[in-house]
Structure formats: structure tokens, C-alpha cells
Amino acid sequence: MADDKSPRSAPPAGGPLVQAPGAATRRRAQRRVVALTGASSFVGQNLLGLLEEDEHIERVVVVDVKPPPGAGKKTRFYEVDLTQPTAEARLSELFAAEGASCLVHLAFYNSPSHASAYAHELESVGTMHLLVAARQARVQKLVMSSLTLLYGAHPSNPNFLGEHQPLRATRREPFFRDKIEAEAEAARFGERSDGAVVTVLRTAPIVGPTVKSFLTRYLSRRVVPTMMGFDPLLQFVHEVDAIAAFKLAVDRDVPGTFNIVGDGVLPLSTVIKLAGRVALPIPHPIAQPLGSLGWLAQLLPAPPTFVPYLRFLCVADGVRARDIMGFRPAYTTREALVDFVSAQRLRDVKLLEEA
Amino acid sequence: MDDPKPKPKAARKPSAAPPKPKAPKAPRKPRPKRPAASAEADTRSEALLEELEHRLDAIIGDHKLEPAVAPPPTPPPPTPPPPPDSTTVFDTARDMLTSDFYLRRWGRLAMRSRSEEVDDFGYDPTYDKRIKPFFDFLYERYFRVECRGISNVPRHGRCMLVANHSGTIPFDGPMLKTAVKREQPSVGRDVRWLAEDFVFHFPFLGSFESRIGAVRACQENAERLLRQEALVAVFPEGTKGIGKLFRDRYKLQRFGRGGFIRLALRTQTPIVPVAIVGAEETNPMLFRVESFSKLLGVPYVPVTPTFPLLGPLGLMPAPTKWKIVFGEPLDLGDYGPESENDEMLVSRLAETVRQSIQGLLDAAVRERKSVLFG
């Protein structure tokens, strides 16, 4: 455990984790209005808290289908369903009326869903509606979340994938396809609205004591299926770091795509051992049918299209986020995992209630 | 609350306290000020209050008791779990009945050969240390490697070792690593060699290779390694090299597209040509079968005098005598990093390196009398 890092703070505090890089910073003097979608998601919920505390932010406009948990005084909630065709007009009116200068788009599933049709409507079509509205209302800044998983796990990947690499995750999987389409929408938004700052943060799988996702469910099982003879290197980012990265992207105008990852990598076998689980190696030729069955029976947290991630590398390079954005993760991959595991162990023996 | 002494007393009192008022306590002080409206009701409520107070005291006392009494080494003996230091055979037996015991054992056993942290490319020092005796045996006893010109390998700073690639099952990467490690014991540099893609398609092989220090061959990986000032071994012949037929032994194949030269120019890395003699006879390949290579995910299926005949055992390398010769380093510092786009220069330099390795190979093969005994 490296103790020479900057002081670690409790989850909703991104402040001390970041240092000003200087050049890329253009802080706006006046108090801003930030629009936020996906405020009920893990990152959204925590980011909302951070935005509430920030004195440079006048108001947080939350667009969602249900009121965000833990909304404070600055938050103004509007019930808009992004999947509806009427959402566009409503959103553009709303953004203009509120004078939103920054849009944070986090309305994405962090785990594959069985309701893939709705997920498509929300992630792909919903992003289109949202960004068309934002362009009409002349929103000058977009921060969107994405995943490093979208690079896809291939044996031909370099060990560290840069942001310029194509998104090669399989399009057969709606979870990836919708997000790739959403990224394309964000790129289109950047092209068509001149001068707008578009920041896309591709986060590595987020782990930590409170976050829930398909990955934490996978690592919570006593027996964890793996692919026989394959031991890919994995990379995680701690939940605190991920939240801090989004706050940083809201605070600074840094156009571009950034990989938000923790330092270091761990082989899957070590991850499973640190988590105190037992690996169940499955020969990869039968993983596909078994995985389909398990997914259909809802026994597995992810469909068989995730099998390549248990075989091949999908590790992103965070150097660009460090150099340009000034993002310094406080937790390494290993520390993030250990933090997750310590909470998970308590959950295992029912000492920690689900929040 | 500071003094825990009176608390145990209160705790020992029966919960149903007598109605007789005791010495007035702090919370009851304001009560006497009020004139008694009805004496009976007052005593009853007073009794009730007292009882509550006692109960509260008992509860607080219980909690306070633990830290207050715990320090003296007189824990109540009748508690069911015995102190941890006096483990008997029964405890062990009981422990062994829990599934946790086996999980712990399993975890310890499994982590035994692994480091908790690996480097960027999955190199695992602990695993490498465990596997080292095997490679030492191969180096010393089996292939009886003779190493020459080790002083040409710089002791620090980035460097690229460019070698001929051979052997149906390539042992040249690990042997090169062992050679540098053993012949320069005071420096102890780890050679990272770049391995072909197909290695990483394979179950077991890919994870094994990356644990002992192989890295998938691509420009990004090599550049990252060199920027970390590593000692990188490249085999520009690639799959064509390990797929050489026996009759083509020690004839260097095409050197890719000169990617390693461009990399060396870009990162300003000196190049050390290396000739590995003996490795090309370990698995003399007579034919290559490429028809079901797609099915198996390998570039070709080798046919050696022993391979399909004896099954997997036939892939065992022959105990040839090896010689590893490190040539004079080639410094590319005179060319700027921008010269990597000069295609003529790149192909000329690639050819120079190829020639120098071929020269080293020819000289070493010529002076060799026997394949098996050197």
C-alpha cells in the first residue's frame, strides 16, 4: 500500500485528489448551471452531491424519470423520459429556460440488462434526443460517461490502449453497441455545435466499497467462472477516483476523450484470490453455450459476449487523462480491489447491510 | 460517566428497585422544587423513574463494563471459546470441519507462486523465480549454452537485442533472458522479449509467457518498454522464423517491414545484433502443414521426425549445443527521431542489422564441429 499518495478522503470529496495543470484550465467566473442526466446512477448520485457543495455552481438541473435520491437545495428536478419522442422539444425549452451551460450525461446502464430494447431506447436514442436538444439550446459543454470495455478484448490489443484506438467491442452485444452509438452521437454533437467542449470519459470497470455492477456481482460469487488457461490482466478504477474525474471534467474545459483508469494491472487469477473466491476454469469452447444458458436463466451477471474479457486484454492507458486533464487516481487497481474486497467480506457475513 | 466504578454496583442491583428513595441523583435534582400535588402519584412515578434509572444504569454499566474489566487478565473462565493460544487437536479438527479452512488453505496455496502485483505487462517476479531453476537447468545442462560478447549488452539504459528466431517451440526468448541474467550477475537485467500474437491466443501458453516476461509484439508495447529503459529482445523474423524448415536453418528470413528499426530510431535505442546457434536444430521441421492451422489457431502444424509420431512428447527439443553471440552495438543516435519516416534509411538499416546477424551466425556455424556437442 503506497502511503505517499495524496490524502485519501471519504467518498464524496474529489477536491484534494486533483491538482491544477494550469494551461488547460479556463474556469468560468460566474456561477454556472449544470444539467445532469442519470442522477440516480452510482456516479450521478455522488456527483450530484459534489455539485451541490460546489460554490461555483448555482443550480443543478436534474433530468430523469424519478426524483434523484439525496437531492439538495440547489437541485431542480424535471421529470422527462429521454426515450419519448417528445423529450427533445421539452429538453431544449428546459435547457434554454434554465440557462444550462454544461450538460453531464450519465444515463447509461453500468451492467448489461435483460431489457435490451429499453436500454437501446435510453442509451442510443435517448442520447440522440438529449444532444439534439442541447444543441438547440446552445449548451456549450458536454461531459459524457463511457467505458473502456468498448475497446473490446482482443488478442491483438496492445497492452495499453490509447484513446485513438477504435472501439472494437462486439456489436452483437447491445450493451456495447448502444454505448458506441452514444459516443458517435457525442462526436456529432461536437462537430455540429461549433465551440462546444465535448469531454467523454471512458472509465475502467469501477470497483469500491459501495458501487454495484456486473463486475462486483461477478466477484461476489463464491465460485467465479474463468476461462481455462487464460489469465488476462485486468484494470479497475476506484469509485472515488471515477467520481472525482467527472467533477474534474465539469470544472475544467478539456475537450476530448479520456481513459479514466487506476494505475497498474492485476491478472484475473490474482483478482479472484485477493477477493477470496474460488476460480472455476471452464474450457473456452463451451463457455459460449454455457454462458448463454446462465444468462438466460439469470444465473450469470453478464451475457456470453463478455467471455473475451476473461480471455484477452482490454486495458486502457490513462496517461492522457493525467497529462491533459490533470487527473491523478488516488487508488491503484490493486488498492481499489482491496477496498472493494474489504467491504464485500463484511457483506458476505451479513455485517454490512446493503445501502 | 467518567468513573466506571459505581456502574458495576448499579448493574448488580435487581432491576425491580425498591421504592425507597436513595441519595438524590443529578437528573432528579429539579424535582423537589415542585410542590407535591398528590403524594401517592408522586411516589409511584418516582419509583417508576428510579426503576428506569436503574435499568438504564444497568444497560450503560454493561457496556462500560467490557472495556473497564477487559484489561486485567482475568477473563471469566466459563466462556465457551478458549483463548487462541491454547489450540488443541480438537480445535484443529473443528477448524478443519469448516469450509473456511479449506478456502484459506486453497488461497494460501494458490498465492504461493504468485506475486500480489505484476508489472504493466504481467511479468510476475515470484513466479519467475519459481520457474528459474527449470530454465537454469535448460541453460546449463540441457542446451549447455555458451555465451560470447556479453560485454556488448549495455548495463543500463534502453537497448534492443535483435536475434534470429528459430525452434518450432521457441526457447530462444527465455534462453536469451537467462543468458543475460547469468552472464551479467552483478547487473541482473531482465530481458523482455516480444512474442508473436498467436502465443496469446493459446490457453496456458499466453499467460505462462507473459508471467515470465514475454510481451506481445506490437509497436505500442515495445515503445512503452523502451521508454521504461528496458532491455528488449526482438525477433524480426517473427512467425516466419520459427516456421523455418530444417533445410533453411540459419538463413535469416525477411525482417518484417523494418518496424524494429523505426522503433529504434524513434526512441533513440542502440541495437545489439544477437546470433543464437543451436536453437534451429532443436525441432528440425521437415514439413509445414497449413491446412488445419486455422482450425487450431496456430500459424502452421509442424512435422518433425518425432512430432506427430510420438504425440506431444515429440515436441521435446533435442539437446543441441547452443551458442549465443552478442555482436557490436549499432548506435542510431546519429539519425534523429524524425528519420523513422525515411523509408530508404529504414530498409538500409534493417538490411545492415540482418547482415551483421547473418555474419555472426555463419561464423559460429562454421566453427562448430557437431550439432549436439559443439
Query: For chain B (length 374 residues), average pLDDT per consecutive 10?
Result: 41 41 42 48 76 74 48 50 63 80 72 80 91 94 93 93 85 92 89 89 88 92 94 90 86 86 93 93 86 75 85 87 94 86 91 94 92 84
Summarize the confidence of residues A77-103 as an average pLDDT. Answer: 94
Residue A345 distance to chain B (closest CA, Å):
13
- The answer, yes or no, to whether residue A301 has pLDDT greater than 80, is yes
| B100 inside 8 A of chain A by CB | no
Contact B206 A230 (CB under 8 A): yes
CA–CA min distance B200, chain A (Å): 6
Give the domain CATH number at B343.
Answer: 3.40.1130.10
Is the Cβ of B246 closer than 8 Å to some Cβ of chain A?
A: no
Distance from CA of B222 to the nearest CA of A (A): 10
- Distance (Å, whole) CA B19 – CA B49: 10
Q: Is residue B47 part of a domain?
A: no
Cα distance between residue B239 and residue A155, in whole Å: 16
Residue B18 grid cell: 425498591
Task: Find the closest chain B residue to A231 by CA distance.
Answer: B207
Q: Is B228 on the interface with A (CB under 8 A)?
A: no
DSSP notation for A251-273: HS---EEEEE--BS-EEHHHHHH
Judged by CB atoms closer than 8 Å, whether chains meet at B201 and A231 is answered as no
B334/A328 Cα distance (integer angstroms): 37
Q: Do residues A74 and A57 lie in contact, with contact meaning Cβ atoms separated by under 8 Å?
A: yes
Q: Alpha-carbon distance B201 to A156, whole Å? A: 9
* Shortest CA distance from A227: residue in chain B: B203
**Which helix (H) or strand (E) covers residue A242, if one does?**
helix A239-251
Q: Is the residue at B106 inside a domain? A: no
Terminal-to-terminal C-alpha distance of chain B = 88
Cβ A273–B114 below 8 Å, yes or no? yes
| ipTM, two decimals | 0.82
Cβ separation of B216 and A158 shorter than 8 Å?
Answer: yes
State the distance between the two ends of chain A, measured CA to CA, in whole angstroms. Answer: 27
* Residue B260 and residue B234 in contact, taking contact as beta carbons nearer than 8 Å: yes
Assign A349 a pLDDT band (cuts: 50, 70, 90).
confident
Note whether B296 contacts A: Cβ–Cβ < 8 A. Answer: no
* Alpha-carbon dihedral sign for residues A139, A48, A111, A208: positive
Would you state the pLDDT for residue A94? 94
Task: Tell me, yes or no, whether B83 lies in a domain.
Answer: no
Q: Confirm whether B274 is domain-assigned.
A: yes
Closest CA to B236 of B291, B172, B329, B151: B172
Q: b/e string for A11-39 if b means 16 or more Cβ within 10 A?
A: bbbbeebbeeeeeeeeeeeeebbbbbbbb
Comparing C-alpha atoms, which of A298, A246, A306 is closest to residue A105?
A246
- For residues A228-232, average pLDDT: 93
Tally of structural domains, chain B: 1
Picking from B116, B121, B203, the nearest residue to A270 by CB comes out as B116
Residue predicted with more confidence, B109 or A25 = B109
Distance (Å, whole) CA A302 – CA A299: 9
Residues in contact with B53: Cβ distance below 8 Å, sequence separation at least 6, in sequence order = B25, B27
d(CA B235, CA B217) in angstroms, rounded, equals: 9
Residue A237, pLDDT > 60, answer: yes
The nearest alpha carbon in chain B to A161 belongs to: B220
B216 contacts chain A (CB < 8 A): yes
Of B232, B231, B250, B233, the closest CA to residue B167 belongs to B250
Q: Which of A106, A105, A258, A133 is nearest to A192 (CA)?
A: A133
Task: State the sign of the Cα–Cα–Cα–Cα dihedral B190, B195, B197, B203.
Answer: negative
pLDDT for B123: 93
Contact B203 A312 (CB under 8 A): no
Q: Which residues contact B284 (CB under 8 A, 6 or more apart)?
A: B246, B249, B304, B305, B318
Interchain contact, A265 vs B221, CB within 8 Å: no
Q: How far apart (Å, rounded) are the C-alpha atoms in residues A183 and A10?
A: 31
Strand order in the sheet with A141-147: A75-79, A57-64, A32-37, A102-105, A141-147, A197-203, A256-260
The torsion angles phi and psi of B153, rounded to 5 degrees, stand at -85, 120
Q: Please state the rounded mean pLDDT for residues A84-112.
A: 94
CB contact under 8 A, B224 and A276: no
What b/e string do you get for B297-310 counting C-beta neighbours within 10 Å, with b at 16 or more?
ebbbbbbbeebeee
User: Does any domain span residue B333?
Assistant: yes
CA torsion, ordered A318, A320, A321, A324, to nearest 10 deg:
160
Which of helix, strand or coil describes residue A28? coil
Residue A230 to residue B197, Cβ atoms within 8 A: no
Closest CA to A208 of A24, A70, A8, A52: A8
Q: How far is B350 from chain A (nearest CA, A)?
A: 24
Contact B224 A159 (CB under 8 A): yes
Nearest CA in chain B to A153: B201
Judged against a pLDDT cut of 60, whether residue A117 lies above it is answered with yes
- Which triple of cell numbers denotes residue B145? 549454452
Rounded to a whole number of angstroms, the distance from the CA of B199 to the nearest CA of chain A is 9
Are A155 and B201 an interchain contact pair (Cβ–Cβ within 8 Å)? yes
> Which chain A residues have a beta carbon less than 8 Å from that of B194?
none
The helix/strand/coil state of B102 is helix
- CB contacts of B205 in chain A (<8 Å) are 229
Kindly list the residues from chain B whose CB atom is less than 8 angstroms away from the CB atom of residue A229. 202-207
**Confidence (pLDDT) at A114:** 94
- Nearest CA distance, A307 vs chain B (angstrom): 14
pLDDT at residue number B116: 78
The pLDDT of residue B31: 43
> Is A9's pLDDT higher than 80?
no
* Residue B347 resides in a domain: yes
Distance between CA B357 and CA B250 in Å, rounded? 10
Rounded to the nearest angstrom, the minimum Cα separation between B125 and chain A is: 13
The neighbour count for residue A274, using CB atoms within 10 Å, is 18
Q: What is the pLDDT of residue A212?
A: 93
What is the per-residue burial (b if ≥16 Cβ within 10 Å, else e) of A153-178?
Answer: bbbebbbbbebebebbbeeebbbbbb
Report pLDDT for B264.
93
Between chain A and chain B, how many beta carbons pairs sit less than 8 Å apart?
A: 75
Asked whether the beta carbons of A137 and A95 are under 8 A apart, the reply is yes
Q: How confident is the model at residue A154 (pLDDT cuts 50, 70, 90)?
A: very high
Segments forming the whole domain that contains residue B353: 120-284+321-367
Mean pLDDT for chain A? 89
Question: Can you tell me the distance from the alpha carbon of B327 to that of A292, in angstroms, rounded to the nearest whole number?
Answer: 55
β-pair partners for A103: A35, A142
User: Nearest Cβ partner of A265 from B120, B204, B216?
Assistant: B120
pLDDT digits 0-9 by tens, B7-56: 443 434 344 444 444 444 444 444 444 444 455 667 777 788 888 778 77
Look up cell 518450432; give the residue: B168
Note the pLDDT of residue B154: 92
